[in-house]
Structure 1
Amino acid sequence: MAGQTGPRAADRTLEVLELVARATGPVSAKALARGLGCALSTAYTLLTPLTERGYLVRTDGGYTLGYQVSALHRAFQRQMGLSSGIDGVLARMRQTAGASANYVAYQGDGLVIADVRTVAADGDERPELAIGVDPRSHAYAHGKIALAAAGPAARRRYLEQPGLRRFTPQTIASVERLDEELRRIRRTGVALDVEEARPGLACLAAPVLGTDGAVVGSVSLSVRPEDLRARRRQLIAAVRRAADEATEAGQPAR
């Protein structure tokens, strides 16, 4: 790759960052070269500008993420409208409801998970939330919020790929049933799933709005199905209140 420039070089540079980010500790240049499938000299060619610009730091054990990554994350949070107030909203919702509280931020067409925050309740089941496109969006309450808010073209893309896979016997796997469910969510402002994504897990979610009134994320509670049945009204009220607070927390100060 010596002398390689342009998109390919940029792609390899991003691969280096991703490899270091996935590691549990410092990564040596030799390990990075193996991961990239390139010569050690090529790895050093990629590592040098990343280190000089502060995106990586070289330690005795190898390379770790640098201070500029933290700066990027703060900028990302600012652009997404994520403030420290979100964490307080989740803590209050978890205390009020006695259940794990989650915040999911959406990006792009609304069907990409850009950020996840969780305040866990001991012993409670929690959804397996990951950054990126989640093929279980139609099964989780937070995903239904995103689908309900997404435009027709985005929903159509989701139906085509990854499609309505069935994860449990309760998963909605019919376009007609999903459309009906999304209309109900737009009408009521609350999404529910009861063992649709995972057995033994129920979730309920409400949308968080940005400054332009568009849905930018959702807050949700994760409970056991029997708990949802016993405290449905209380939990719905809690998630609605938290969504209003999270929306306010993301607005500019007046």
Structure 2
Amino acid sequence: MAGQTGPRAADRTLEVLELVAGSPSPVPAKALARSLGCALSTAYALLAPLTERGYLVRTDGGYALGYQVSALHRAFQRQMGLTDGIDDLLARMRQATRASANYVAYQGDGLVIADVRTVAADGDQRPELTVGVDPRFHAYAHGKIALAAAGPAARRRYLEQPGLRRFTPRTIASVDRLDEELRRIRRTGVALDVEEARTGLACLAAPVLGADGAVIGSVSLAVRPEDLRARRHQLIAAVKQAAREASPAHPS
């Protein structure tokens, strides 16, 4: 493959898949070659196995994601326990609390967001939930749940990179204050943030436990700060109950 073999070829192949996935429309081979900084023949050599195996499909406008991506996503959902029941639970939360309801699944050392589900109506307040490593974990309620459950080494890596950045004047930017907050979360089983990640947004979250008792995700509600102050106890009770129902060990 134009002199590329082994890990480098695999890395380039994944880069092609990511480029196509990140495009709103099919991507021509020439555009992929330009993005990769490689010859057109190399781009075609990378595209061939992806197309043959169904991860990409060739259209008149270029290359788009293929059916195997959908199969991978379904397998990922099964492994993460992300069943249709999660969506039903979030819909019930949304209806009962009149707030944006969210589910975040953690992976790896617990500080990587693997998947996100949200049920919200137009005009609802909602956090900016992104898959991957999020530098706002210490500012959002769902991120504090992950930090509270993470081991010392994982928390230390987070404090070193990305670190405690400020996003609003209310963001916790002190290690001592964060440690105190995480101890409170472990004690009470609920995390709060009031305009720490974004002005005008308040969130509360509770941990979802796997069959072994480890934290595998969280459910959260997003409201306006004044709404949290007015309905604090109701919202905390709702998010804790939803987290119990979302836990795989919860009796059906």
TM-score tier (shorter): over 0.9
Residue 116 of structure 2 corresponds to 116
3-state DSSP of counterpart to 2:90: helix
Residue 43 (str. 1) matches residue 48 (str. 2): no
Residue 74 of structure 2 corresponds to 74
User: Residue 58 of structure 2 aligns to which amino acid in structure 1?
Assistant: R
Tell me, in whole angstroms, the C-alpha distance in 2 between the residues paired with 1:225 and 1:15. Answer: 41
Tell me, in whole angstroms, the C-alpha distance in 2 between the residues paired with 1:15 and 1:253. Answer: 42
1:195, distance to aligned residue in structure 2 (A): 0.1
1:253, distance to aligned residue in structure 2 (A): 8.9
What does 1:237-248 correspond to in 2, within 5 Å? 237-247=237-247
1:125, distance to aligned residue in structure 2 (A): 2.0
List runs of 5+ in structure 2 lacking aligned partners: none
Tell me, in whole angstroms, the C-alpha distance in 1 between the residues paired with 2:81 and 2:117. Answer: 14
1:15, distance to aligned residue in structure 2 (A): 0.3
Residue 233 of structure 1 corresponds to 233
Residue 165 (str. 1) matches residue 191 (str. 2): no
User: Residue 156 of structure 1 aligns to which amino acid in structure 2?
Assistant: R
Contact 2:93 2:238 in 1 (8 A): yes
Contact 2:27 2:64 in 1 (8 A): yes
Tell me, in whole angstroms, the C-alpha distance in 2 between the residues paired with 1:201 and 1:172. Answer: 15
Contact 1:81 1:210 in 2 (8 A): no
**TM-score, normalization: structure 1?**
0.96
Describe the shift of the 1:232–1:214 C-alpha distance in structure 2 as closer, same or farther (beyond 3 A): same
Residue 155 of structure 1 corresponds to 155
1:81, distance to aligned residue in structure 2 (A): 1.6
1:3, distance to aligned residue in structure 2 (A): 3.2
Further displaced range: 190-199 or 26-35: 26-35
Tell me, in whole angstroms, the C-alpha distance in 2 between the residues paired with 1:111 and 1:33. Answer: 34
Tell me, in whole angstroms, the C-alpha distance in 2 between the residues paired with 1:98 and 1:39. Answer: 54
Superposition RMSD in Å:
1.3
Tell me, in whole angstroms, the C-alpha distance in 2 between the residues paired with 1:211 and 1:169. Answer: 39
User: Residue 116 of structure 1 aligns to which amino acid in structure 2?
Assistant: V
1:35, distance to aligned residue in structure 2 (A): 1.1
1:78, distance to aligned residue in structure 2 (A): 1.3
Q: Deviations over 1:219-246 (max 9, x none)?
A: 0001000000001011111111111111
Tell me, in whole angstroms, the C-alpha distance in 2 between the residues paired with 1:211 and 1:58. Answer: 42
Describe the shift of the 1:236–1:73 C-alpha distance in structure 2 as closer, same or farther (beyond 3 A): same
3-state DSSP of counterpart to 2:145: helix
Q: Deviations over 1:170-200 (max 9, x none)?
A: 1111111111100100011000000000000
Contact 1:81 1:251 in 2 (8 A): no
Describe the shift of the 1:6–1:252 C-alpha distance in structure 2 as closer, same or farther (beyond 3 A): farther
Residue 86 (str. 1) matches residue 83 (str. 2): no
3-state DSSP of counterpart to 2:235: helix
User: Residue 211 of structure 2 aligns to which amino acid in structure 1?
Assistant: T
What does 1:1-254 correspond to in 2, within 5 Å? 2-247=2-247, 250-251=248-249
1:251, distance to aligned residue in structure 2 (A): 5.0
Further displaced range: 67-76 or 189-198: 67-76
List runs of 5+ in structure 1 lacking aligned partners: none
Contact 1:102 1:119 in 2 (8 A): yes
User: Residue 194 of structure 1 aligns to which amino acid in structure 2?
Assistant: V
Equivalenced residues, count: 252
User: Residue 46 of structure 1 aligns to which amino acid in structure 2?
Assistant: L
1:252, distance to aligned residue in structure 2 (A): 9.6
Tell me, in whole angstroms, the C-alpha distance in 2 between the residues paired with 1:50 and 1:6. Answer: 16
Further displaced range: 192-201 or 122-131: 122-131
